[in-house]
Amino acid sequence: MALILQYINDFHDIFEKHGDPRTNPWPMMSSPFPTLVICLSYVYLVKVLGPKYMENRKPFNLQKTLVLYNFVQVIFSAWLFYEIGAGGWFTGRYSFQCQPVDHSKSPQTMRMVNVCWWYYFSKFTEFFDTIFFILRKKFDHVSTLHVIHHGVMPMSVWFGVKFTPGGHSTFFGLLNTFVHIIMYTYYMLAAMGPQMRRWLWWKKYLTALQMIQFIGIMVHAFQLLFIECDYPRAFVWWIGMHAVMFFFLFKDFYNQSYSRSKSAVKATQPVSTEIDEVTYKNGVMKNGYSNGHTNGRVRARTVLPAGN
C-alpha cells in the first residue's frame, strides 16, 4: 500500500510540474485520479449496478425529463460553441494552419482556457444519455463501445485541459459543439413523441454532418505532421486518430442505415410497418421506442402478420 501511495504521489508531482499552472488549481485538475474514479464509477454503474437495480422494476417514463435534458444540452452546447469561437477562432487571433498554446493570462486567452474546462465538464453531463437508457430498461442501447467512449472521453479531455488548454486542439471542440447543437435539437424533437416524426426528415443529413466533422478534425490535426508548429505532436496524433476511428464507425453506420436499407426495401414488400427508433451515438446502433429518447435516426421496421 505504501508503494502504491508513493507512485500516486510521484504522478501527482509530475502533473504539478508539467501541467499548465493556470488550470492546476481548478476543480478536478490537480490530479487525474478524481476524473479516473468518476469514469470507472460510471462504467460500474451502467454495466452492473443500474441493470441490477432495474431488473425487477418497470421502466421509467422519462419523456418530459428527456425533452428538458436535451433542451439544456442544446443551450449548453451553443454556449460552448460561442465561447470557443469568441476565445479565438472567431476573432482572427487563431490560425487554422498552426495555433500554438498561448500561455499568457490575458483576458482573451483566459476566456479560451476557461471554456476548455467547461468543455471537459460537458463530457460528464453526457453520462446521462446512458443513465436514461438504464432507467428505461433499454439495456441493448448500452453497448460496450458506447460505454467505453463515454467512459474514456472525460479522461482524454482532462489531459488537454491539464497540459494544452487552448491552441490548435480547440478546433475539435469548436466543430464538436456545433454538431452537438444540431444533434441534441434532433434528440429533443424526437423525444417529444410520434407527432414530431414529420419534422425529422433531416436525420440522414445529421449523420453526414457528423462524418464531415471528423474529416475536418483529422485534416486540421494531421496537417501539423507536415509543417513546423510549436504544438505537441502527441496531441496531434491523439486527436487525429480519434477522428479517424469515429469517421469509419459513422461511415459504417451510414452504409448500413441507408444503402442496405434501400436494397432491403426493393427486395421485400412488407405486409405492414410500424415506426421504431434506431438510435446511434458515437458509432453505436441501438433500438429504442417511438415516444422516448432518441439519439439518432428513425427508420421503418417490417412487421410480419401474426402467426408468420
DSSP characters for 198-258?
A: GG-TTHHHHHHHHHHHHHHHHHHHHGGGTS--SS-HHHHHHHHHHHHHHHHHHHHHHIIII
d(C-alpha 29, C-alpha 121), whole Å: 11
Report pLDDT for 12. 59
Report pLDDT for 300. 39
Whether the CB-CB separation of 298 and 275 falls below 8 Å is answered with yes
Residue 51 inside a domain? The answer is no
130-134, 204-208, 233-237 — most confident range: 130-134
**pLDDT tens-digit series, residues 160-200:** 999 999 999 999 999 999 999 999 999 899 899 888 888 88
Q: Which domain holds residue 110?
A: 60-303
d(C-alpha 73, C-alpha 64), whole Å: 14
Residue 279 host element (H or E)? strand 272-281
Sequence length of the chain is 308
In the predicted model, what is the mean pLDDT of the chain? 80
- In degrees, rounded to 5, the angle at the alpha carbon of residue 302 between the alpha carbons of residues 308 and 191 is 135
Cβ-count burial of 97 within 10 angstroms (0-12 exposed, 13-18 middle, 19+ buried)?
exposed
Report pLDDT for 8. 56
Q: Is the pLDDT of residue 259 over 60?
A: yes
Catalytic residue among 141, 146, 149, 168: 149
Active site residue 180: no
Q: Is the pLDDT of residue 58 over 60?
A: yes
pLDDT, greater one: 270 or 115: 115
Q: Which three cell numbers stand for residue 128?
A: 446521462
Report pLDDT for 1. 57
Residue 87 inside a domain? The answer is yes
Residue 39 inside a domain? The answer is no
Residue 244 inside a domain? The answer is yes
Residue 2 inside a domain? The answer is no
Burial annotation 257-292 (CB, 10 A radius, 16+ → b, else e) = beeeeeeeeeeeeeeeeeebbbbbbbbbbbebeebb
Report pLDDT for 211. 86
Residue 210 banded pLDDT, cuts 50, 70, 90: confident
What's the CA dihedral at 277, 283, 284, 287 to 10 degrees? 10
**pLDDT tens-digit series, residues 216-256:** 999 999 999 999 999 988 888 888 887 887 787 777 767 77
Nearest to 221 by CA among 212, 208, 211, 234: 234
Q: Looking at the 3D structure of the chain, how many domains does it have?
A: 1
Report pLDDT for 9. 56
Q: Is the pLDDT of residue 276 over 60?
A: no
Residue 4 inside a domain? The answer is no
Nearest to 143 by CA among 280, 271, 303, 27: 280
**pLDDT tens-digit series, residues 119-129:** 999 999 999 98
Nearest to 115 by CA among 88, 84, 145: 84
Residue 46 inside a domain? The answer is no
Nearest to 158 by CA among 30, 288, 40: 30
Whether the CB-CB separation of 112 and 87 falls below 8 Å is answered with yes
Report pLDDT for 283. 40
Residue 29 inside a domain? The answer is no
Whether the CB-CB separation of 74 and 181 falls below 8 Å is answered with yes
Q: Is the pLDDT of residue 117 over 90?
A: yes
Angle between helix 63-84 and 107-125 (nearest 10): 160
Q: Is the pLDDT of residue 287 over 80?
A: no
